[in-house]
Amino acid sequence: MDKNIIFLSTYPPRACGIATFTADLIKNLGDAFPSNNYKIAAVNDENYKYGNDIWFTVNQFDRKTYIHLANLINNSDTNLVVIEHEYGIYGGDCGEYLLDFIRGLKIPFITTFHTILSNPNEKQREILKILGGKSKKIITMGENSIKILNQVYDIPENKIIVIPHGVPDITVENKDVLKRSLGYDGRNIISTFGLLSSGKGIEYGIEAINQVVKTHPEVLYLILGQTHPCVKKVEGEAYRNKLQNLVSKFHIENNVKFVNKYLTKREIVQYLTLSDIYMTPYLASEQAVSGTLAYAAGYGKVIVSTPYRYAEEMLNDNRGILAKFKNSTSLAQAITYLLDNPTVMRNMEKNMSNLGKKMKWPYVAKQYENLFLNTIKASKITKQVV
């Protein structure tokens, strides 16, 4: 069966977690199922230099381009549209311009929800409810969201598909070799990676390290990644400077290192591999998925995290330790406990590795392919019956 699929999403070089996710998904689908035809309708907030794989560009803030895109797709050979949804990447109040697109679209579509709020405002609820009603299927990356989608947004459970967040399948050197190559021999490495912004709660991580080093002076906390471009446009490097000042205030320059650069996937995997503990001290309890935590889980890391929704699910069944929100002492206690109990750490690593195997992209891409195939088949049957 011919599968001509268009993805509506942000896309590299736009620095955005959803752009990275979509590029990874399309690449892995293309590697495993090269007979399919994948096109991208990229959502722009400025003019980016895209590659040849971009079929259409949507001006995020121009309502007319959403309607124009729907018409173009309707008159093409497309038989499925895949929408990556996040409120902030579409124009209008809470991204409502996306509704103009789906109202004009005559081709079946599937939507992946990257943000699912348990207590949305009226507009946020309306948008997800309409998307849920018109989509053939809704994809979520965690079991934690099924009940919320059903009870808050009236989306029937039989419409919801859970597919894990994909993780790159990259082989790198072992932990000891990587530590040695970077001069980290004898150090217990704790890491956090991702585009830096104040919602990440890194200040609590630094405060926690200040407590941990009193009994574990060998600890090194790596804060990996550049500042989020949207944050940098508005406030420059104010947040990073605040964090660096905190490190100076505590005199722990030997225990905290900033790697302020865009990391390739290989570099991310290398840093995760050499890490002993991965930490996400995020501030928002609502977070339904975290790409960075998914990467750490995929590589079998012991994780210390605040209890946002995705972390609660991923760290279940003895796969890590949950600490309190905005509480550096709670984070420090969790880290110290793990460092003092290497057998506990090894057991948690083993448990996380078992889960992580199912999150590698080849496994995940197969689930997407099956869903796309079944949706296209079901739509053809419905058309014939009508």
- Domain with residue 150: its CATH number is 3.40.50.2000
Residues 332 and 184 in one domain: yes
From residue 96, alpha-carbon distances to 92, 111, 374 in Å are 5, 15, 29
In angstroms, the Cα distances linking 33 to 25, 164, 200, 368 are: 12, 19, 36, 11
Q: What is the average per-residue pLDDT within 79-104?
A: 97
Look at residues 85, 80, 70, 162 and name the one whose alpha carbon lies nearest to residue 131.
Answer: 85
Co-location of 15 and 71 in the same domain: yes
Whether residue 35 has pLDDT greater than 70: yes
pLDDT-derived band of residue 215, with 50, 70 and 90 as boundaries? very high
Q: How many domains does the chain have?
A: 2
For residues 322 and 380, membership in a common domain is answered with no
Q: Which long-range contacts (CB under 8 A, 24 or more apart) does 16-25 make?
A: 16/89, 17/114, 17/194, 17/195, 17/291, 18/84, 18/86, 18/89, 18/114, 20/291, 21/84, 21/114, 21/165, 21/166, 21/291, 22/84, 24/166, 24/168, 24/361, 25/166, 25/361, 25/365, 25/368
Average pLDDT of 66-71?
Answer: 98
* pLDDT, mean of residues 345-349: 97
In this model, does residue 217 exceed pLDDT 70? yes
The mean pLDDT value for 178-205 works out to 95
| Average pLDDT, integer, range 220-232 | 93
Instruction: Please check whether residues 190 and 90 belong to one and the same domain.
Output: no
Residue 381: is its pLDDT beyond 80? no
Q: Is the pLDDT of residue 383 over 70?
A: no
Indicate the pLDDT class of residue 380, thresholds 50, 70 and 90.
confident
Split at pLDDT 50, 70, 90, the class of 382 is low
pLDDT single digits (tens) 155-177:
999 999 999 999 999 999 999 99
Domain co-membership, 155 together with 231: no
Say if residue 152 is in the same domain as residue 196.
Answer: no
Per-residue pLDDT at 302: 97
* Total Cβ atoms within 10 A of residue 247: 20
Name the maximum alpha-carbon separation found in the chain: 72
Band of the pLDDT at 307, cuts 50, 70, 90? Answer: very high
- How does pLDDT run across 231-280, given as a tens digit for each residue? 898 999 999 999 999 999 999 999 999 999 989 899 999 999 999 999 99
**Are 203 and 323 contained in the same domain?**
yes
122 and 234 together in one domain: no
- Crossing angle of the two packed helices 361-385 and 17-32, in degrees rounded to 10: 80
Domain extent, residue 147, equals 4-166+360-385
Instruction: Please state the rounded mean pLDDT for residues 294-317.
Output: 96
| Residues 106-152 pLDDT 10s | 999 999 999 999 999 999 999 999 999 999 999 999 998 999 999 99
273 and 330 housed in the same domain: yes
> How does the average pLDDT of the chain come out, rounded?
94
Work out the average pLDDT over 21-44.
93
- Within this chain, do residues 19 and 151 fall inside the same structural domain, yes or no? yes
CB contact at 8 A, 16 and 10: yes
Examine the domain organization and report whether 133 and 199 are in the same domain: no
12, 139: one domain: yes
